Amino acid sequence: MEGRLVMTRNLTFEDLELAVDNGSIDTVLVCFVDMQGRLMGKRFHAKHFMSDGYNETHCCDYLLATDLEMGTPDGYASTSWEDGYGDYTMKPDLNTLRMTPWLDGTAMVICDVLDHHTHEEVSHSPRAILKKQIKRLEKMGLDPMMATELEFFLFEKSFKEIHENGFRELKPISAYNEDYHILQTTKEEHIMRPVRNYLWDAGIPVENSKGEAETGQEELNIKYANALNTAEYHTIAKHAVKEIAWSKGHAVTFLPKWHHDKVGSSSHVHQSLWKDGKNAFYDPNDKLGMSLLMKHYMAGLLHYTSDITFFLAPYVNSYKRFAKGTFAPTRIIWSVDNRTAGFRLCGAGTKSVRIECRIGGSDMNPYLAIAAQIAAGLAGIENKLELDEPAKGDVYQGDTKMIPENLRDAKLALDQSEMLKSAFGEDVVKHYCRAAEVELEEFNRVVTDWEIARGFERA
């Protein structure tokens, strides 16, 4: 890919115009983020995008009412066979223009999704949901600053080979635990070096990658940013990892638990609220450096954990990750620098004090996960919820409330959440409850390999 246009920031429209004129860019990916956190959209000829396509384009409204298989399940109020599956308008946000250096001659833009008739944002669009919560904070003079950690597994074989083998005999790219292991991760540099460098060239501030605590498991860390940028960095990085691994002949999975004997993959979310360019979570006079604002926010996260769990763990498989002794949390509890807690206080006593939510899995949609956490934290602030003392020791033990143990329980908590109905809108909560139901209906319909092996002869 010699001669590619390299930039460590977003493209301006004028930058893109120059690149199209000199021939270094010929394709623009016009994308929006679906319910599952994937990029959907169209590939535009760059010259058409520059002349007219930058204004808007259209897509079918079923794209925000589908499942992982791109099916068209019934039961959604927003779209149906009876309504004829009409259009949404995709409105490019030109502030999100960027290079995609891992694809030759290609740039990308993220769109807002608008109602085709009113041109209002579609309420259940993940980007609209997050923007709504950010506006609530802005009215209070607060800016949410976030960072997500992406964990995933790399495999020896390609997506095609694994698919053709029925997703059996999966073999990770390495043979033993590679947590912080330089030798093992050197063997994966043909994938991870391009990931780091191409994302940096795309204007995404990658800090580092590292081996994680399992065979073939990697983690990618991106510098903190405002909440909307963080969600976009996460989504684009996840997409890029898949495409770069594919281009090298390897598969990658962000499934939280691909094997019962293997550690799961998480996506921890670090968060703080800032005011006038300073961390509003910090109070130098507090023993842990926590401001009263931070304590109310943390109390909100804890009080409403069950309400928001679906947005941190949206699938049946998501809940297989929550197990003792795996660094994945099981209890609704907070602690100081303790990786067994659902919420960890990081940077205690310093200006970088922040909350790390350790509940989210690698399959979460970052827009929805971040929006739900902001909503819970805001409820804590608005209701001045009191924060209990931090837990100590092994918090897998004890008698505190548990994180919902399965998708059915998380869906029920979502359905009953008055806090989220107020923050997101009842229509949005109903929409995502239906998404949970669809996942459960599909799972309940299928006979699993475990059932057959366990009962084929013995039952």
Identify the domain containing residue 407 by its residue range: 135-452
In a domain, 23, yes or no: yes
Residues 264 and 227 in one domain: yes
Q: Residue 433 carries which DSSP code? A: H
Residues 225 and 322 in one domain: yes
Across residues 18-46, what is the average pLDDT? 97
Which of 9, 125, 99, 205 has the alpha carbon at shortest distance from 425?
125
Residues 416 and 292 in one domain: yes
What per-residue confidence (pLDDT) applies to 3?
38
Domain limit, last residue, from 122, 157, 188:
122
Phi first, then psi, for residue 318 (nearest 5°) are: -55, -35
CA distances from residue 279 to 28, 326, 337, 354 in whole angstroms, order as listed: 37, 32, 19, 9
Pairwise CA distance, residues 288 & 285, whole Å = 9
Radius of gyration of the chain (CA): 22
In a domain, 7, yes or no: no
Residues 254 and 330 in one domain: yes
Residues 116 and 157 in one domain: no
Pairwise CA distance, residues 140 & 133, whole Å = 11
Residues 76 and 204 in one domain: no
Residues 75 and 170 in one domain: no
Pairwise CA distance, residues 435 & 204, whole Å = 30
In a domain, 457, yes or no: no
- pLDDT tens, position by position, 298-343: 999 999 999 999 999 999 999 999 988 788 899 999 999 778 889 9
Residues 247 and 330 in one domain: yes
Residues 49 and 149 in one domain: no
- CATH number of residue 337's parent domain: 3.30.590.10
Residue 2 confidence class, pLDDT cut points 50, 70, 90: very low
Pairwise CA distance, residues 273 & 275, whole Å = 7
* Largest pairwise CA distance in the chain: 70
What per-residue confidence (pLDDT) applies to 154?
97
Residues 197 and 242 in one domain: yes
Is residue 114 within 8 A of residue 88, CB to CB? The reply is: yes
Give the count of alpha carbons within 13 A of 185, CB side only.
18
Residue 9 confidence class, pLDDT cut points 50, 70, 90: low
In this structure, which amino acid lies at residue 314? Answer: P
H or E segment to which residue 219 belongs: strand 217-222
CA 138 to chain centre: 22
Q: Is 187 helix (H, G, I), strand (E, B) or coil?
A: coil
Q: Residue 118 carries which DSSP code? A: T
Pairwise CA distance, residues 11 & 27, whole Å = 14
Domain count of the fold of the chain: 2
Is residue 320 within 8 A of residue 264, CB to CB? The reply is: yes
What per-residue confidence (pLDDT) applies to 381?
98
Please determine, for residue 245, whether its predicted confidence score (pLDDT) is greater than 80.
yes
Q: Residue 236 carries which DSSP code? A: H
Please determine, for residue 58, whether its predicted confidence score (pLDDT) is greater than 90.
yes
Domain limit, last residue, from 82, 99, 122:
122
What per-residue confidence (pLDDT) applies to 43?
98
In a domain, 459, yes or no: no
In a domain, 4, yes or no: no
Domain limit, last residue, from 122, 154, 185:
122
Tally Cβ neighbours within 10 Å of residue 327.
14
- CATH number of residue 25's parent domain: 3.10.20.70
Neighbouring residues of 433: CB distance < 8 A, sequence distance ≥ 6: 411, 414, 415
Is residue 298 within 8 A of residue 390, CB to CB? The reply is: no
What per-residue confidence (pLDDT) applies to 104?
96
Tally Cβ neighbours within 10 Å of residue 339.
13
Which of 108, 153, 182, 121 has the alpha carbon at shortest distance from 250?
153
Residue 396 confidence class, pLDDT cut points 50, 70, 90: confident
H or E segment to which residue 252 belongs: strand 251-253
In a domain, 104, yes or no: yes
Any idea which residue has 């934290």 for tokens?
A: 377
Pairwise CA distance, residues 363 & 374, whole Å = 19
In a domain, 3, yes or no: no
Please determine, for residue 249, whether its predicted confidence score (pLDDT) is greater than 50.
yes
Any idea which residue has 């924060």 for tokens?
A: 387
How far separated are the first and last CA of the chain, in Å rounded?
Answer: 58
Any idea which residue has 């779209």 for tokens?
A: 79
Residues 442 and 412 in one domain: yes
In a domain, 296, yes or no: yes
Is residue 297 within 8 A of residue 273, CB to CB? The reply is: yes
Is residue 16 within 8 A of residue 107, CB to CB? The reply is: yes
More confident residue, 6 or 100: 100
Q: Strand 57-60 vs strand 87-99: parallel, antiparallel, or unpaired?
A: antiparallel
Residues 336 and 227 in one domain: yes
